[in-house]
Amino acid sequence: MDTPMLIGQYKTELEEIVKEANQALLNLGSLSAKEKKEKIGVIKIRLQHGENVYKTLQLESRDLDLATRRQVQAEIKNLHSHLKRMQADITSLSDRSNLLGAKELETWKVERGGQQQSQQSTSELLKSAHSAQDESFESLERSKRIVEETEQVGIATTTQLGAQREQLINVSKNLDEVEDQLKRADQLIRSFGRRMATDKLILCFLFLIVTGVIFIIGYKIYQSQH
């Protein structure tokens, strides 16, 4: 599971803990002394779990980008302040001989009612923040898709460049082969030229020899006649 989705789940869980604990505190007046004591114990456990969720959120938010991290931390700090306030309330209730008189409980409920209105106003702000966060997450997802598409284009370009490089290497090898063939042809032409020169020289010698023989034969014939 990715970090933004995980943070969203933890934050929803923390909001539910705050809401449930607040409602449970307001309903204490309708319970018997024994039920109150048991309920206070349950609320303490839930609030402690809320503290653990808050700490987990702080750790997970470190993996977010700076802007989103600041926004998430502001939201969870607001929830944590409500959590700490309820922890103080539950501690106060436990310290009053573990019970509240009807009159004291009514006074406390009035105080909590004012806090609840403040919390409702805060909830509206949180909803607005959630909407902004969702937009940030969507923007983040779009950025991820763009990065992935860019990566795919980069891979395709690298593949094409690799193929072109192979073609250039093959062309270079072909040019080397052509150069070798030209060198061999040049050597053959030079060798053929040397052979032709040698053949011409031999022909010249043969011509001189034949001419000498003819001259000698003619000279002998001339002498025999005179």
Provide φ and ψ at 183, rounded to 5°.
Answer: -65, -40
Contact 47, 90 (CB under 8 A): yes
| pTM reported for the whole predicted model | 0.41
Which three-class secondary structure state does DSSP give residue 43? helix
Give pLDDT tens digits along the chain (226 positions).
Answer: 566 777 778 778 888 888 888 888 777 777 777 787 788 888 888 888 888 888 887 887 787 777 888 888 888 888 888 888 888 877 777 665 344 444 444 554 555 555 555 444 455 555 655 565 566 566 667 777 888 888 888 888 888 888 888 888 888 888 888 888 888 888 888 887 788 878 788 888 888 888 888 888 888 887 777 6
Q: Within 13 Å of residue 160, how many CA atoms lie on the same side as its CB?
A: 6
Sign of CA dihedral 147, 149, 151, 154: negative
Give start and end residues of each alpha helix (H) in the chain. 3-26, 33-60, 66-95, 102-225
DSSP string, 120-146: HHHHHHHHHHHHHHHHHHHHHHHHHHH
